[in-house]
C-alpha cells in the first residue's frame, strides 16, 4: 500500500519507520532541509523534502495513487490543509490527521477528514482512567455510528446499586454491553442486578451518555 | 456591519482602519499585542489579543455576533483553518481569507471557501500596468492602491469609488 506521511517530527519518523517495517511503500515529507537530511540517513529514499500542503509537491510524489495520507505535523492548520488538498485534488480514499487542539476534532470530522487522532485527548482520557472516581471514561469513539464506548464504575450510594438494568429504564441510546464484577466478566441482561463497584462498559450516544450519568453516577438523595 | 479581522499585519491594520473609518463596527485580533501599534492611536475599533485558530478565543472576540470574518495572517493554513471555523462552527454569514498559494486557493474555491490570492492579483495588476496601462481594467482597489503611492493626483480619483461602496451598504 502506498502511504504518504506529512511531517517529519518524532511522530512522523516513528510512524514511517513502522509502516516501512510492515512492508508499505512510504513517502515522508518534511519542509525542513536539515531535518530531511538527517531522516534520509535512517530511512533513505522514502524521505522527501517538500511542503505536503502544496498540490505540486503532492503531485510530484504521485499522490493520486496513494491509499492513505497521514498528516502529523505539530500544527493543526497544516494537518488540515494536507488532508483537504489530498482529498479534494487527489481523491485519496483515506486521510488521517493529528489534532493537537482537542476543540478542532469536531470541525476536522465535519470537513471530511476520515480519521482524527488527538494525542491531547488520549492523554486526558488516560488521566481520567487513573482517577476512576464517579467519572465516565470514553474509551473508543465509533465516529461513523456516532457512538462511544464508555467505562464507568457504579459508585457507593449510587441509585442504581441493587436495581436491575430493566428498572433503570435506560433509553435505547445507552446500552450496557459488559459488566466486570471483581475479576468476572458478565454479559448483562434486563434482569441483571447492578452492584456497587461494578465496572460497566456501555455503548452510548451523547444523549445516552447523559442518561447513564444521571441514573448511575448521581448520588442517591442528591437533587 | 460587524467585522472581525484576524491578523493585524499591514493588510489587516489597513483594512481595519479603512472599514472602521467607513463607520463599521470593527474588531481586530492578533497573537501579538505589539501588532496593534500599526493601527494608530485614533483607531475607533476594538482589539483582542489571541490566536484566531482557537474556537474559544474567537468566541471571546465575539465571533458569534459578527456579520463578517476576515483572515489575513501571514500563514495560508492559519487563515484557512480560522475561516473554516468561522464558517462551519459559527456560521458567520460572510467569510473571506487570504491565500498566497494560487493552487491552494483553487482547491479551497472548489470547497466553497471565499478567498483572495494576492499573488495572482498583484501579478495581474503589474502586468496590466505595464502592458495595458490605458485599458479599463483598473479596479477601485487598484486606483486606491495607486493613490497611496501617488498621493497628489491618485487619491482624489480613489475617493469616488470608495465612497460609492460605503453608500451601497
- Which residues of chain A from 68 to 97 reach within 8 Å of chain B, CB to CB? 75-78, 80-81, 84-85, 88-89
CB A41 within 8 A of CB A13: no
Q: Is B73 on the interface with A (CB under 8 A)?
A: no
> Which helix (DSSP H) or strand (DSSP E) does residue A136 occupy?
strand A136-142
∠ CA(A50), CA(A53), CA(A55), 5° rounding?
90
Q: What is the pLDDT of residue B164?
A: 39
Q: What is the pLDDT of residue B141?
A: 53
Q: What is the pLDDT of residue A95?
A: 97
Q: What is the pLDDT of residue B67?
A: 98
Q: What is the pLDDT of residue B138?
A: 55
> Which helix (DSSP H) or strand (DSSP E) does residue B106 occupy?
helix B102-110
Q: What is the pLDDT of residue B152?
A: 36
Positions in chain B short of pLDDT 70: 135-169
**What is chain A's alpha carbon radius of gyration, rounded to the nearest angstrom?**
22
* Sheet with strand A94-98: strands edge to edge: A47-49, A25-30, A2-6, A68-71, A94-98, A115-117
Positions in chain A short of pLDDT 50: 221-223
Q: What is the pLDDT of residue B169?
A: 37
Q: What is the pLDDT of residue B151?
A: 35
**Distance separating alpha carbons of residues A205 and A213, to the nearest angstrom:** 12
Longest dimension (CA), chain B: 49
Q: Which residues of A touch B89 (CB under 8 A)?
A: 106-107
**Distance separating alpha carbons of residues A137 and A157, to the nearest angstrom:** 19
Q: What is the pLDDT of residue B148?
A: 42
Predicted structure pTM score = 0.71
Percentage helix, strand, coil, to 5, in chain A?
40, 25, 35
Sign for the pseudo-dihedral over CA of B45, B46, B52, B55:
negative
Q: Which of A53, A104, A110 sits opposite B77 (nearest CB)?
A: A53
Q: What is the pLDDT of residue A213?
A: 85
Q: Is B56 on the interface with A (CB under 8 A)?
A: yes
What pLDDT, in 10s, does the model give residues A184-204? 899 999 999 999 889 999 999
Amino acid at each position: 500500500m502506498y502511504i504518504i506521511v506529512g511531517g517529519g517530527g518524532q511522530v512522523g519518523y516513528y510512524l514511517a519507520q513502522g509502516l516501512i517495517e510492515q512492508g508499505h511503500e512510504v513517502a515522508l515529507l518534511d519542509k525542513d532541509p536539515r531535518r530531511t537530511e538527517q531522516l534520509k540517513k535512517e530511512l533513505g529514499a522514502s524521505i522527501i523534502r517538500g511542503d505536503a500542503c502544496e498540490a505540486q509537491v503532492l503531485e510530484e510524489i504521485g499522490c493520486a495513487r496513494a491509499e492513505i495520507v497521514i498528516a502529523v505535523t505539530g500544527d493543526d492548520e497544516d494537518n488540515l490543509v494536507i488532508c483537504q488538498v489530498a482529498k479534494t485534488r487527489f481523491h485519496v480514499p483515506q486521510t488521517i490527521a493529528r489534532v493537537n487542539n482537542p476543540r478542532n476534532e469536531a470541525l476536522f470530522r465535519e470537513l471530511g477528514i476520515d480519521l482524527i487522532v488527538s494525542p491531547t485527548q488520549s492523554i486526558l482520557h488516560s488521566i481520567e482512567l487513573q482517577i476512576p472516581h464517579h467519572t465516565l471514561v470514553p474509551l473508543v469513539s465509533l465516529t461513523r455510528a456516532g457512538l462511544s464506548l464508555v467505562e464507568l464504575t457504579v459508585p457507593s450510594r449510587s441509585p442504581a446499586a441493587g436495581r436491575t438494568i430493566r428498572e433503570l429504564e435506560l433509553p435505547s441510546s445507552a446500552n450496557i454491553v459488559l459488566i466486570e464484577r471483581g475479576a468476572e466478566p458478565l454479559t448483562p441482561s434486563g434482569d441483571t442486578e447492578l452492584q456497587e463497584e461494578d465496572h460497566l462498559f456501555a455503548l452510548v450516544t451523547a444523549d445516552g451518555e447523559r442518561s447513564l450519568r444521571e441514573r448511575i453516577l448521581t448520588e442517591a438523595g442528591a437533587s | 456591519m460587524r467585522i472581525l479581522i484576524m491578523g493585524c499585519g499591514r493588510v489587516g491594520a489597513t483594512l481595519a482602519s479603512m472599514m472602521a473609518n467607513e463607520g463599521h463596527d470593527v474588531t481586530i485580533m492578533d497573537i501579538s499585542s505589539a501588532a496593534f501599534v500599526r493601527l494608530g492611536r485614533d483607531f475607533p475599533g476594538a482589539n483582542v489579543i489571541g490566536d484566531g485558530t482557537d474556537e474559544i478565543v474567537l468566541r471571546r472576540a465575539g465571533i458569534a455576533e459578527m456579520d463578517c470574518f476576515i483572515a489575513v495572517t501571514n500563514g495560508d493554513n492559519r487563515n484557512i483553518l480560522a475561516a473554516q471555523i468561522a464558517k462551519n462552527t459559527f456560521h458567520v454569514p460572510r467569510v473571506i481569507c487570504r491565500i498566497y498559494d494560487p493552487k491552494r486557493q483553487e482547491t479551497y474555491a472548489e470547497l466553497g471557501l471565499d478567498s483572495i490570492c494576492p499573488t495572482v492579483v498583484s501579478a495581474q495588476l503589474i502586468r496590466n500596468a505595464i502592458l495595458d496601462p490605458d485599458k479599463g481594467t483598473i479596479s477601485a482597489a487598484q486606483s486606491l492602491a495607486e493613490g497611496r503611492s501617488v498621493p497628489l493626483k491618485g487619491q482624489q480619483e480613489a475617493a469616488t469609488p470608495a465612497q460609492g461602496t460605503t453608500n451601497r451598504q
